[in-house]
Amino acid sequence: MINITWLRTFCTLAEVGHFTRTAERLYMTQSGVSQHISKLEEQLDTDLLIRQGKQFSLTNAGEQLYKEAGEILQRLSNLEQRIGEDPPYEGLVRLMSPGSVGLKLYPQLCLYSSSIQN
């Protein structure tokens, strides 16, 4: 499984286009960014960048990863937001009661439940 932190670092680097500015944006060191990219390349067993001195460009694999990773990271972000939402009037309600009370309440709860669902 691909490390999400390395993937975020790679996508940020592809967007920013500069190792040092990527490090600043992610509150990392420049060598930390380089290590994330190297580890990601090692894990995927492919070069993601064509390094030319202090500059770089994305390989075909890097372009493909950037495109797909961006979608994945966006979906993860959306998932985190959806999971974090807690609507005040929605959700599962469970009740426990002694048998005699439950038998008295059950018909009313069934009526109430069906009126909510309709």
What residue type is assigned to position 102 of the chain?
G
- Tell me, yes or no, whether 26 lies in a domain: yes
Q: Are 16 and 26 in contact (CB under 8 A)?
A: no
Tell me, what CATH number does 53's domain have? 1.10.10.10
- Tell me, yes or no, whether 109 lies in a domain: no
pTM: 0.68
- Tell me, yes or no, whether 113 lies in a domain: no
Q: Are 18 and 34 in contact (CB under 8 A)?
A: no
Quote the number of domains for the chain: 1
Give the separation between CA 76 and CA 69, rounded to whole angstroms: 10
Neighbours of 51 (CB within 10 A): 12
**Host domain of residue 29:** 4-84
pLDDT in tens, the chain (118 residues): 889 999 999 999 999 999 999 999 999 999 999 999 999 999 999 999 999 888 899 999 999 999 999 999 999 888 877 787 777 777 777 777 787 887 888 888 777 666 666 5
- Three-state DSSP at 49 gives strand
DSSP letter for each residue of 62-101: HHHHHHHHHHHHHHHHHHHHHHH---TT-S-------HHH
- Tell me, yes or no, whether 50 lies in a domain: yes
